[in-house]
Structure 1
Amino acid sequence: MNVLLINGSPHAHGCTDAALQEIAKALNADGIETTIYHIGTVPVGGCVGCGGCAKAGHCVFGGPVVDVLPLVEKADGIVFGAPVHYSTAAASMLGFMHRLGYSAGRLLAQKPAAIVTSARRAGTTSALEALEKVPQFCQMPLISSTYWPMVHGSNAEQAALDEEGMQIMRNLGHNMAWILKCIAAGKAAGIEPPKAENTIRTNFIR
């Protein structure tokens, strides 16, 4: 089994990466392989609703949203991590997740997901709320921990000193591993994931 951890920070080895690395260690200790993917420093725009992905099978604007697809398809679970910018999640990560969810939701469905965020001081809970929207929309069971999944610090070294934050990351990793093993055991016993009904779209104004 493999878990993909996506680093949505412009810093490849900053606080968000420190949190993801701690989760990866816990997963590895439980026999789960991990892959960390950094979306990079080039700004990632949001979905423009062009509908091109319906024909192409992927976002037509390319970039990390398309580059990550082979890893997403291989993954049994996904962890999305991002820093706090202006009291919400980093804009590039939000754009990345919006485009990924809209263009490749079929690859995300039924895979357990976790959200983690990092900040120097404040804004973590509002960032978590924003990031959770995509997994909820894409039928991804959310994995929790023993507190809200966040770490604090201005750099990776400071984040590593956040003992409670690091413990939360380890507990999250162990919870993810447990759920993945439960899913695998269920499939072995013949339990298949549910199939969603065909989408019914309604508007507030008729």
Structure 2
Amino acid sequence: MKVLLINGSPHKNGCTYTALTEIEKELNKENIETEIFQIGNKPIGGCTACGGCSKTGKCVFGNDTVNNVIEKIKDIDGLIVGSPVYYASANGSLISLLDRVFYAASDYLKYKPAASIASARRAGTTTTLDELNKYFTINNMPIVSSQYWNMVHGNNAEEVIKDLEGMQIMRTLGKNMAWLLKCIEAGKKQGINIPEKEEKIITNFIR
């Protein structure tokens, strides 16, 4: 089993990374393979809703890291997305990436457990978590929780380490993700399959 942890911060080894590594340690203890993928600090363009990905399962814009992430999610069992808080929101580059990944390749993620985490100096974490969790809830993905909302606080990595409650929340999240992955795996062995899919109904509010 493998979990991909996306570091949505432009800072490779900053606050978000520090929180993700605490989760990663717990997953590794449970023999879950992990990869922390940093989106980097180069521009990531937003989705243009061109529909080209419907033919290939890849984004037509191949000049950034989006298709790299799409290839990675094909082989994972769980996903964790971490972001710093900017103006009570997730990093804009991360949102652009998620828009395009979920639009082009949502089928690779359906029914896979997911979680989001947020890192902030002070506030804006809950709105950021709500924003990120919506990608999961629109795509049949069970959300993994912890003992409190999945957030850490600090101006830098050293301060995040001192956020003892926040780091414990990350460890609990890692344990809960490992537990749910093992439960799903055990269920598959007992012949429990994913829910039967209905044909999708799409409506609007114009009558």
Indicate the residue corresponding to 1:72 in structure 2.
73
CA–CA distance in structure 1, aligned partners of residues 95 and 70 of structure 2: 17
Kept in 1, the 8 Å contact 2:14–2:157? The answer is: yes
Cα distance, 1:55 vs. partner? Answer: 1.4
The 5-angstrom pairing of residues 39-188 of structure 1 reads 39-62=39-62, 63-188=64-189
Indicate the residue corresponding to 1:3 in structure 2.
3
Q: Which letter maps to 1:198?
A: E
> Secondary structure in 1 aligned to 2:129?
helix
Q: Which letter maps to 1:177?
A: A
Q: Which letter maps to 1:203?
A: N
Indicate the residue corresponding to 1:17 in structure 2.
17
CA–CA distance in structure 2, aligned partners of residues 167 and 201 of structure 1: 41
CA–CA distance in structure 2, aligned partners of residues 37 and 159 of structure 1: 20
Q: Deviations over 1:134-156 (max 9, x none)?
A: 01111110000000000011111
CA–CA distance in structure 2, aligned partners of residues 146 and 14 of structure 1: 23
Extract structure 1 runs of 4+ deviating beyond 3 A. none
Q: Which letter maps to 1:9?
A: S
Aligned residues: 206
Q: Which letter maps to 1:60?
A: V
More displaced, 173-182 or 148-157?
Answer: 148-157
Decide whether aligned partners of structure 1 residues 67 and 129 sit closer, same or farther in structure 2, where only a CA change above 3 A counts. same
CA–CA distance in structure 1, aligned partners of residues 28 and 114 of structure 2: 17
Q: Identity of paired residues, percent?
A: 55
- Cα RMSD after superposing both structures: 0.9
TM-score, reference length from structure 2? 0.97
> Secondary structure in 2 aligned to 1:201?
coil
Q: Deviations over 1:116-169 (max 9, x none)?
A: 010111110111111111011111100000000000111111111110000000
More displaced, 133-142 or 55-64?
Answer: 55-64
Unaligned runs of 5+ in 1: none
Q: Deviations over 1:15-50 (max 9, x none)?
A: 000010000001111111111101111122221111
CA–CA distance in structure 2, aligned partners of residues 55 and 31 of structure 1: 37
TM-score, reference length from structure 1? 0.97
